[in-house]
Structures are given as structure tokens and as C-alpha cells.
């Protein structure tokens, strides 16, 4: 008999803030928190390390009746268990399935940087996909591409997920679709990217080792300027010495 399809849990009002609270106040694993908040493990780990969401205030799911203490205790005792959201009398929050993505005012200035990153590193992603992923418009993408954007001199290509414009999972899904549409194998490309990243890390490690070895040897080598055997330089005969005060 086929297994029942996996149903998606009701969405939380503030998933990242809820994840922050669970990280700080429980012994749940990243996987358990990710499953409950519908984030990725990478995002949860980044929140725990304050790589993203720095300064984000945690939202207590107990006070908001999204979880019970008994449910948290049950899952803390069994790391393979999954949190079940508490039933609420209020109707679930409806999310907009269509329409432009809303971006907070404080992050709208980061959109050109995210666009520049995608145009530079993932040319397979179409303009329409960028619009949905970042919440921008095609004229803005065109201005970044042809360098007519007013802020072009100050653009810094940065990953849209790091800027909080989308999640890593959303970006991976869009990239996978774009690669398949372009006739490329996503897994092969990811393997190539991992190999290139490994080579770069190896190069940086070798460079760091060389710098450490140079510091350990005392820096600049003056041995080439010293005569062998410690012999003193030959003296100039008295007859050939010149009086520095003579004409």
C-alpha cells in the first residue's frame, strides 16, 4: 500500500522569528526546527550563527498557541520526531499565491546587488524568474545588465538569500528549473561548482601556509647580502683612500 502523501504544515506568521526562539530556548535539532518552520536546515543554522537575521527578536510559539510545551518536550526526547502545530480556533493565515513579492523598505536598496549576482553567476535564470525571486521589474534588470542603473558604481553582487530577499530553498528551486530548461544537468553543475570551490579553498590554504612559513622564518631573508664564512669585506688600501674633505 502506498504511503500517504506528506501534507504541508500550516504556515507560521513569523517563521524566522519562531525559529530564533526555538534555537535559544529549546534543545531541538536544526532539522526539527526547519521542518516546523518550513525553513531549510542551512537557514536555521545561519540564524543560530547570526549569519542572517542578526538582531531578530524571537517569537514565542507557546504564547501564540502555535506549540505546546508537551510537544516540545516530546521532540526533545526523540530527535527523529517532528513537531506538530497546535490547533487554533482562529482561521489560518492566508498567503498570496500571486502578485509581486513584498520587500521591506529597508531591503529594497539591496535588490540591484542581488540582480547583479544572478546575472554574473547564473545566466540560466530568466528575467521573469528574477522578477519573482527578488521582487523586481524587468526594466531594473535591464538597467543593471547594461550598467545604466544610477547606482552602478556602487553595486556589489551578493546572494539574494544572504540579503533576505528570498530563502536558499527558493533560490535552489529556481536555479534547478532554469538549468533543466537550458538542457543542463543541475547535479553535474553543482558537482563542478563544489570542485571549483574545493580548489579555491585548497589554493587559499596553501597561500596561508606560505604566509605562515614566511612569518615563522622571520620575514625577509638577508642571507644573500652576507658574505660566506662570515669574512669581513676587503679593506681599501690607504693609498687609495680618499679624503672626504679634499677637492
Domain that residue 34 falls in: 15-77
Asked if 11 contacts 30 with a C-beta cutoff of 8 angstroms, the reply is no
> Is 30 inside a domain boundary?
yes
Asked if 83 contacts 72 with a C-beta cutoff of 8 angstroms, the reply is yes
Q: Are both 155 and 55 inside the same structural domain?
A: no
- 72: pLDDT confidence band, cut at 50, 70 and 90? very high
CA 99 distance to own-chain centroid: 26
Asked if 85 contacts 10 with a C-beta cutoff of 8 angstroms, the reply is yes
Asked if 124 contacts 182 with a C-beta cutoff of 8 angstroms, the reply is yes
Assess whether pLDDT exceeds 80 at residue 80: yes
Q: What is the dihedral of CA 159, 9, 129, 165, to 10 degrees?
A: -30
Q: Are both 103 and 204 inside the same structural domain?
A: yes
Q: Are both 187 and 114 inside the same structural domain?
A: yes
Tens of pLDDT, residue by residue over 144-164, are 999 999 888 988 999 988 888
Counting the structural domains of the chain, the total is 2
Asked if 124 contacts 173 with a C-beta cutoff of 8 angstroms, the reply is no
Q: Are both 152 and 204 inside the same structural domain?
A: yes
Last residue of a domain, one of 77, 109, 125: 77
Of the candidates 99, 111, 122, which has an alpha carbon nearest to the alpha carbon of residue 179? 122
Please state, rounded to an integer, the average pLDDT across all residues of the chain: 78
Asked if 171 contacts 130 with a C-beta cutoff of 8 angstroms, the reply is no
Task: Give mean pLDDT, residues 180-192.
Answer: 75
Assess whether pLDDT exceeds 50 at residue 47: yes
Asked if 111 contacts 130 with a C-beta cutoff of 8 angstroms, the reply is no
> Is 148 inside a domain boundary?
yes
> Is 172 inside a domain boundary?
yes
Supply the pLDDT for residue 212: 79
Asked if 36 contacts 83 with a C-beta cutoff of 8 angstroms, the reply is yes
Q: DSSP code of 133?
A: I
Q: Which residues contact 46 (CB under 8 A, 6 or more apart)?
A: 52, 53
What are the CA-CA distances from residue 150 to residues 103, 120, 131, 178, 196 (Å)? 20, 18, 19, 29, 34
> Is 150 inside a domain boundary?
yes
Task: Give mean pLDDT, residues 228-239.
Answer: 55
Q: Are both 73 and 104 inside the same structural domain?
A: no
Q: Are both 57 and 145 inside the same structural domain?
A: no
Q: Are both 131 and 55 inside the same structural domain?
A: no
> Is 238 inside a domain boundary?
no
Q: Are both 105 and 186 inside the same structural domain?
A: yes
> Is 138 inside a domain boundary?
yes
Assess whether pLDDT exceeds 70 at residue 84: yes
Asked if 114 contacts 101 with a C-beta cutoff of 8 angstroms, the reply is no
Burial category of 171 from C-beta neighbours within 10 Å (exposed 0-12, middle 13-18, buried 19 and up): buried
Q: Are both 70 and 104 inside the same structural domain?
A: no
Q: Are both 134 and 188 inside the same structural domain?
A: yes
> Is 223 inside a domain boundary?
no
Phi and psi, residue 72, nearest 5° = -65, -45
Q: Are both 66 and 137 inside the same structural domain?
A: no
Assess whether pLDDT exceeds 70 at residue 123: yes
CA 187 distance to own-chain centroid: 20
Q: Are both 109 and 66 inside the same structural domain?
A: no
Amino acid at each position: 500500500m502506498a504511503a500517504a502523501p506528506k501534507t504541508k504544515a500550516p504556515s507560521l506568521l513569523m517563521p524566522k522569528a519562531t525559529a530564533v526562539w526555538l534555537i535559544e530556548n529549546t534543545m531541538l535539532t536544526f532539522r526539527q526546527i526547519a521542518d516546523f518552520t518550513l525553513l531549510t536546515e542551512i537557514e536555521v543554522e545561519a540564524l543560530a550563527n547570526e549569519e542572517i537575521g542578526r538582531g531578530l527578536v524571537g517569537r514565542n510559539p507557546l504564547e501564540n498557541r502555535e506549540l505546546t510545551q508537551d510537544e516540545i518536550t516530546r521532540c526533545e526526547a526523540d530527535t527523529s520526531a517532528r513537531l506538530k502545530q497546535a490547533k487554533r480556533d482562529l482561521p489560518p493565515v492566508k498567503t498570496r499565491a500571486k502578485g509581486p513579492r513584498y520587500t521591506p523598505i529597508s531591503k529594497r536598496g539591496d535588490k540591484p546587488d542581488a540582480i547583479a549576482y544572478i546575472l554574473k553567476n547564473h545566466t540560466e535564470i530568466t528575467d521573469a524568474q528574477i522578477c519573482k525571486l527578488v521582487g523586481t521589474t524587468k526594466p531594473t534588470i535591464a538597467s543593471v545588465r547594461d550598467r545604466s542603473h544610477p547606482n552602478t558604481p556602487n553595486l556589489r553582487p551578493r546572494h539574494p538569500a544572504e540579503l533576505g530577499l528570498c530563502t536558499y530553498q527558493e533560490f535552489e528551486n529556481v536555479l534547478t528549473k532554469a538549468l533543466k530548461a537550458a538542457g543542463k544537468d543541475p547535479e553535474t553543475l553543482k558537482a563542478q561548482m563544489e570542485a571549483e570551490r574545493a580548489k579555491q579553498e585548497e589554493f587559499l590554504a596553501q597561500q596561508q601556509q606560505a604566509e605562515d612559513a614566511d612569518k615563522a622564518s622571520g620575514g625577509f631573508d638577508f642571507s644573500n647580502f652576507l658574505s660566506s664564512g662570515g669574512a669581513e669585506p676587503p679593506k681599501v688600501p690607504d693609498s687609495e683612500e680618499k679624503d672626504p674633505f679634499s677637492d
